[in-house]
Chains A and B, each alone.
Chain A
Amino acid sequence: MTAILMNAQGLMKQYGSRTVVKGVSLRVYENEILAIIGPNGAGKSTTLEMVLGLKKPDAGEVSYWEKDFRKAVGVQLQATPFFPGLTAFENLQLFAAFYKKKLSKQAGMELLTLCGLHDVMKTEASRLSGGQQKRLAIAVALVHDPKVVFLDEPTAALDPKSRREIHQLIMELHQRGTSVVFTSHDMDEVTKLSHRVMMIDQGTVIAEGSAIELCESHNVQNLEELYLQLTIGGNEQ
């Protein structure tokens, strides 16, 4: 049986009178790729932030297989938090130090190679292209060799080539035994990469399962069709 790495039950979050997350439950299993999808403002990011401990849920609880989960969880946020003036490698070294880890030049090179950044090791992070910065943000998330990685819209606003490189990286991580949780608006990407899909709309989980299962059970051709059918935006159309 596959081990559960993270278990969140009945998460709720309210901002004033508006409830943005209404009892979302979410599990992450060992070595799976889980995609969280939903329209803008559906509650995906708030759910992720509660799961990661950045926001306190008003109700519900989150448990990890390890007490101090931060040591074994990697996160790539939508913003690219690199320090000005520092090269790609220096940024990695700094983030490794936050995990009390000393990153050797060789280990840094290996990580950058994994993320397709071997040729920009000495380039200032702020001078990298959008796709390279996203990949460096993922490299930062991997610097302490985590068991599970959360990627918040890793391919947003990227050209097809950069997107494909990140797809390859996610597959590579899976092959290495890392669980990957990512959010996306690209249904083809979700279908191609994920083992399990969780669709959130208006703060609740409206569908969950593999892309094939979901399409079959709702009698639709593809995930995009299902997305349009189930989400509020789709109903309006």
Chain B
Amino acid sequence: MTTIFKTMLVTSLRDKITMFYSVIFPIVLLIGLGYYFDNAAYSPRLVTGVIALSSLFWGVSGIAFQVHWQRSRGVYKLLKLTPYPTISFIFLMTAARTLLGILINLLVLAAGVLLFDVMVSFGALLGTIGLMFIGILCFTCLGFLISNFANNEGQINMISNLFFMPMIFGTDTFYSLKNAPEWVSTMGNLFPLGYYVHGLRSVLGITSESPAGSILVLVIYTAVLLMLAALTFKWETNGQLRVKTYKKKQRAVV
């Protein structure tokens, strides 16, 4: 078990593209926006927004591409031929990615503390780690679900964007929605990112509201997404789209 867990950490750490989007990109974004706005009241909100974005990319895109890659290369098929339960492998992979995701988010938080004087007490730090755990797990389940529906990398991008767009633009992750039409925030409320951001701001003491409501919603989202991901899980990539096109072409030739 230790070897598998350690190897999953290594394979995720060596995934340069996901690491760029989850570590470099959020930190550069934090530095860029932080110095551009240069507003002490906005900095803590910006830090939580960037942490949420990093969790989203790490959880959804990272796992969706990783699972798709493993599935299309026959990893799950080969795993079925070993005595090791595939579900245990998926659990360890998720655990390794969640642990790394938390560490990456803590790096972003550390950048916020060092560069923008964001205050974090020890209790708030523990609460933040707990919330990061639920948030990344929730996004990881969403990533799994997306990989189950996508037959290739292009479809992963398209389906991910269907979730990313309303989540990023329909929530107050980076900007206030006070002046936005009501349907924008209603749309944003259908997805977990907004609750994650509100939860982070609550545990870090940026807002005075209780994090309980956000945590509850995130737990429900995680449970539902996990169930859907398990129900739709497939061992092999199917080429259904390609087969149908081929048949149509054949008929056309006949």
Contact = CB atoms under 8 A, between A and B. Distances in A.
A100 B1 CA distance: 8
Interface in B14-39: 14-15
B75 A81 contact: yes
B73 interface: yes
Contacts of A102: 3
A54 B80 contact: yes
A98 B82 contact: yes
Given A97-B3, A97-B7, A84 B69 contact: yes
Contacts of B7: 83, 86, 90, 93-94, 97
A50 to B, nearest CB: 13
Contacts of B69: 84
Interface string A47-70: 000001110000000000000101
Contacts of A1: none
Contacts of B83: 68, 70-71, 98-100
B67 to A, nearest CB: 12
A94 B82 CA distance: 12
B223 interface: no
A53 B81 contact: yes
Q: Which secondary structure characterizes the binding site on chain B?
A: helix
B74 A52 contact: no
B78 interface: yes
Contact of A81 (B1, B10, B78, B84): B78
Contacts of A95: 82
Given A81-B70, A86-B10, A99-B83, A94 B3 contact: yes
B10 A85 contact: yes
The listed residue with most B CB atoms (<10 A of its CB), out of A85, A86, A93, A97, is: A97
A225 to B, nearest CB: 32
A79 B73 CA distance: 6
Contacts of A84: 11, 14-15, 69
A83 B84 contact: no
B16 to A, nearest CB: 8
Interface in A81-117: 81-86, 90, 93-100, 102
A75 B7 CA distance: 22
A73 interface: yes
B224 interface: no
Nearest to B92: A97
Contacts of A70: 81-83
A52 B81 contact: yes
Contacts of B73: 79-82
Contacts, number: 74
Contact of A93 (B3, B15, B72): B3
B220 interface: no
B230 interface: no
A207 interface: no
Contacts of B81: 52-54, 70, 73, 75
A86 B13 CA distance: 10
Interface in B48-77: 69-70, 72-75, 77
A77 interface: yes
A53 B81 CA distance: 8
Contact of A77 (B1, B4, B13, B78): B78
Contact of A90 (B10, B15, B79, B82): B10
A85 B11 contact: yes
Contacts of B89: 98
B84 A98 contact: yes
Nearest to B1: A97
A15 B229 CA distance: 26
Interface of A: 52-54, 68, 70-71, 73, 75, 77-86, 90, 93-100, 102, 140
16 contacts: A54-B81, A81-B70, A81-B73, A81-B74, A83-B7, A83-B70, A84-B69, A85-B11, A85-B13, A97-B3, A97-B4, A98-B79, A99-B82, A99-B83, A100-B83, A140-B78
Given A94-B7, A98-B89, 4 more contacts: A73-B81, A75-B78, A86-B7, A97-B84
- Identify the 3 closest CB pairs spanning chains A and B, nearest first: A85-B14, A79-B74, A98-B84
